[in-house]
Amino acid sequence: MSAAEEVVAEGHEAVEAVPKRAMTLGTGTSLVVVVLLLIVPLFTKNFIIFQMTMLLIYGLAVLALNILTGGSGQFSLGQSAFYAIGAYISAVLMEQFNVNYALTLPISGVLCFGVGFLFGKPALRLSGVYLALATFALATAMPQLLKLNFLEQWTGGVQGLVVTKPDAPFGLKMSQDMWLYYFTLAVTLAIYIFSVNLLRSRSGRAFMAIRDNEIAASAMGVDVALYKTLAFGISAGITGVAGGLGAIAVQFVAPDSYTITLAISLFLGMVVGGVGWLPGSFVGAAFIIFVPNIAESISKGLSGAVFGVLLFLVIFLVPHGARQIAIVGQQLIGKLRKT
Amino acid sequence: MLLSQKLRIAALATAVMTFTSGAALAQKKYDTGASDTEIKIGNIMPYSGPASAYGIIGKTEEAYFKMINDRGGINGRKINFVTYDDGYSPPKAVEQVRKLVESDEVLVVFNPLGTPSNTAIQKYLNAKKIPQLFVATGATKWNDPKNFPWTIGWQPSYQSEAHIYAKYLLKEKPDAKVAILYQNDDFGKDYLKGTKDGFGAKAASMITVEESYEISEPSIDSHIVKIKAANPDVLLIYTTPKFGAQTIKKTAELGWKPLQIITNVSASVGSVMKPAGFDNAQGVLSAAYAKDATDPQWANDVSLKKWNEFVDKYLPGADKTDGGLIYGYGAAQTLAKVLEMCGDDLTRANVMKQAASLKDFIPDTLLPGVKINTGPTDFAPISQLQMQRFKGEKWELFGETISGDVAPE
């Protein structure tokens, strides 16, 4: 049993005991977080707003992986490939076919869902580390596929494609960054609510049944093949939307943006945030965005090593990621209330 | 008594203020990032990730500005060089450059490395009217003052270099059967395009093999064997250093002796020719614009001695065979020159104006005869190269310095 599987296995007692609470934040906490996300940009520099936008976008991508791994128990190191497809579809539609940016996102999502679903079919035969390897191959191949000659007239080949940033609509007096932030926030909230409801639904319970015991699940009448591929498709779809948003925020797509490093970062974000705990995805995203910067400010030459040490500390001190901290915090508050 | 003292202080203060602000109005002009005591320069470099070997360029530049500061700075102002890691990832490059501009508030962004990273930040910097000075990439598109008046290149473009090789072949070996081995990315494809443009109408008949490899491949031996099967008599090696060494070695092992031309990037004696074996590298051609520190012919060169002293003092223990040390020094020296020319008018517009008015400037590390010239419509600072042939253990320059200006599309 791999380390990540252990995390899932150990975490599921909590999931079964109080399924709804374990998966999400309490209503009060959620409201506070949403209000903070709404207000903070009004008082910060554009650069911070941009970072927060990226946080939401990576958070979405980690969330997608969380549904796949935390929900249905399948591994993927290939999320960067779906992210790249989403980004390229949005960029190409916006730049070559003059499609409105907001419309490109559902298209990215649907197409990525299709790709993920199809990829999930053959991947069904694989499990655990073998599936991780297959998706790894997808991630490695993606930058080269994007460079293909016959696609070059649309993708710009190795040079990539510059994307125009949208202005705020309806004559709103708002900087492009701020508008994009609120737009991203709206999309993120919608997808987050969808994901929470998905995991609470019949399909979500089927995912978790497969995760916990595939044979038992199929004995109970769960269509294992369908739900496994469905989880893959949904995860890829959400990642695709995140990729599209990422392309608009960064204003540029190139094959080199979507290497295996991105896939590993997303995987890392999921583990740090807590496997199977959806709000943790955004904590994980914060980790993969800000911790490298912190590491760099400590030592430029050894930034990689410093990052490794910080990561090691996190895994050592809180092996279940942000979820563990949240649970401890909740217990503390509970105790305080009783006394 | 107390009142008169206060009045006196107030009067004195007013006098001082009027005096200083008057002087400032007379000549000193500043944009964000510059002041009486400091000029803030921003930079991004791949200190980590797949291109981290280039990180040494950033370290060299940092050391160069430290040397400048030890000597009293530029026109009395110290250089504050802020450099961040972008890991060769365009999204990270955008984040770091925005941090430089909006949080650190730098005057200019200098020598950011990599074509993808520079493409990602070009639109942003031009919209904000912040100079993107002397970008560290050889793509052709940086020389485009009409559409991107705030972006300027530095090194000769890959396409112009390839142009020079094509011209040379047309003259010396007009009936050659040419094979091209190139890296499958923007770098290799620029060379490919430059060669085809250089051959013009004869491209289709002269180029018999086009073979590409991925940078992730551990060895490219199989590609060489494949190319040899077509039996061309010229081999253009459009590769990065590691693969350049492999190619030269493999052709010799196969007992195959085509005329070989290798990219300037891979022409290093220390990191390519030596590992490939000096015997194998005899007669290989290339073009150069900077001196090779590992080349013994510059041992007594006065200006390269300055470079040697700089490396010994500010980068002790650095590997002198690394071309990044030469590159970073030259680029940093060019920026220092521009800032010097700016005088007390340190506005972004003036920095850009001065960067576009360099006349016959010769950094210590460039070949004799290669000069930096820019103008309002010429944003390609170095556009001259000289052909060279490998003989013994060093490069021998031959012919004139050739200008290979290529206009952007």
Average pLDDT, chain B: 88
ipTM of the complex: 0.78
- Is residue B181 within 8 A of residue B238, CB to CB? The reply is yes
Q: For the ranges A90-99, A260-269, B288-297, B357-366, which has the lowest average pLDDT?
A: B288-297
Q: What tens digit of pLDDT does each residue of B188-211 get?
A: 988 999 999 999 888 889 999 999
B31-72 tens-digit pLDDT: 989 999 999 999 999 988 777 878 889 999 999 999 999 999
Q: Is the pLDDT at A14 greater than 50, yes or no?
A: no
User: Do the Cβ atoms of B103 and A46 come within 8 Å?
Assistant: no
| Chain B nearest CA to A106, separation (Å) | 22
- Closest partner CB to B95 (pick from A51, A159, A300): A51
What pLDDT was estimated at residue A18? 39
| Residues of chain A above pLDDT 70, percent | 93
Dihedral, CA atoms, B25, B30, B35, B38, nearest 10 degrees?
A: -140
Helix (H) or strand (E) holding B336: helix B323-342
Kindly calculate the radius of gyration of chain B based on its CA atoms and give it in whole angstroms: 24
Mean pLDDT across the stretch A245-261?
89
Q: Which of A297-306, B14-23, B253-262, B271-280 has the lowest mean pLDDT?
A: B14-23
Tokens 């004995």 belong to which residue?
A219
- Name the more confident of A24 and B109: B109
What pLDDT, in 10s, does the model give residues B215-263? 777 888 999 999 999 999 999 999 988 899 999 999 999 999 899 999 9
Q: What is the pLDDT of residues A41-53, one digit of tens each?
A: 888 888 899 999 9
Long-range contact set of residues A212-217: C-beta below 8 Å, sequence gap at least 24? A212/A12, A212/A73
Residue A25 pLDDT greater than 80, yes or no:
no
The model's pTM is 0.80
CA distances from residue B66 to A297, B20, B72, B81, B285 in whole angstroms, order as listed: 19, 29, 10, 9, 37
Judge whether residue B93 has pLDDT over 60: yes
Position B19 pLDDT exceeds 90: no
The pLDDT value recorded for residue B132 is 96
Query: pLDDT tier at A5 (50, 70, 90 boundaries)?
Result: very low
pLDDT at B13: 57
Contact state of B102 with A45 under an 8 Å Cβ cutoff? yes
Compute the distance between CA of residue A327 and CA of residue A280 in angstroms, rounded to an integer. 12
> Is the pLDDT reported for residue A15 higher than 70?
no
Domains and CATH numbers, chain B: 38-156+298-378 (3.40.50.2300), 159-288+388-403 (3.40.50.2300)
The C-alpha atoms of residue A219 and residue B208 are separated, in whole angstroms, by 63
Q: Residue A22 above 70 pLDDT?
A: no
Is the Cβ pair A54, B95 closer than 8 Å? yes
- The whole-angstrom separation of Cα B301 and Cα B322 is 18
What stretch of H or E contains B38?
strand B38-45
C-alpha distance from B86 to closest chain A C-alpha (Å): 10
Q: Which among B386, B341, B388 is positioned nearest to B366, based on CA atoms?
A: B386
Which pLDDT band holds residue B406 (cuts at 50, 70, 90)? low
Residue B347 three-state SS: coil
Q: What is the pLDDT of residue B12?
A: 57
Rounded average pLDDT over A99-108: 92
B260 with B285: CB under 8 angstroms?
yes
Task: Please tell me the least confidently modeled range out of A269-273, A296-300, B88-92, B284-288.
Answer: A296-300
Mutation site for B-interface testing, chosen from A53, A250, A289, A293 by largest number of B Cβ within 10 Å: A250
| Complete domains list, chain A, with CATH | 3-17+24-338 (1.10.3470)
Q: Is B364 helix (H, G, I), strand (E, B) or coil?
A: coil
A to B CB pairs, distance under 8 Å: 84
Quick one: pLDDT at residue B348?
94
User: Where do runs of H (alpha helix) occur along chain A?
Assistant: 3-17, 19-23, 27-39, 46-66, 72, 79-96, 101-123, 129-146, 152-155, 176-200, 202-212, 214-219, 224-250, 260-273, 280-298, 303-317, 322-338
pLDDT of residue A8: 46
B178 pLDDT band, cuts 50/70/90, is very high
Of A144, A252, A301, which has the smallest distance from its Cβ to B119's Cβ?
A252
Q: Calculate how close chain B gets to A85, using CA atoms only, in Å.
A: 16
Q: Look at residue B409 in the predicted model and tell me its pLDDT.
A: 43
Average pLDDT over residues B99-110: 93
Contact A47 B85 (CB under 8 A): no
Whether the per-residue pLDDT at B25 is higher than 50: the answer is no
Cβ separation of B214 and A144 shorter than 8 Å? Answer: yes
**Chain B residues touching residue A180 (CB < 8 angstroms):** none
For B89, name the nearest residue in chain A, comparing CA atoms only: A257
Confidence check: pLDDT of A10 > 50: no
| A303 vs B85, B99, B116: nearest CB | B85
Q: What would the pLDDT profile of A161-214 be if each residue is shown by its tens digit?
A: 888 888 778 777 788 889 999 999 999 999 999 999 998 889 888 998 998 888
pLDDT above 70 as % of chain B: 92
> Is residue A12's pLDDT more than 50?
no
CB-based contacts of B124-132 (< 8 A; 24+ apart in sequence) = B124/A251, B124/B94, B124/B97, B124/B98, B125/B97, B125/B101, B125/B150, B125/B151, B126/B150, B126/B151, B128/B101, B129/B348, B129/B349, B130/B101, B130/B106, B130/B348, B131/B107, B131/B348, B131/B351, B131/B352, B131/B355, B132/B108
Please state the rounded mean pLDDT for residues B10-35.
Answer: 63
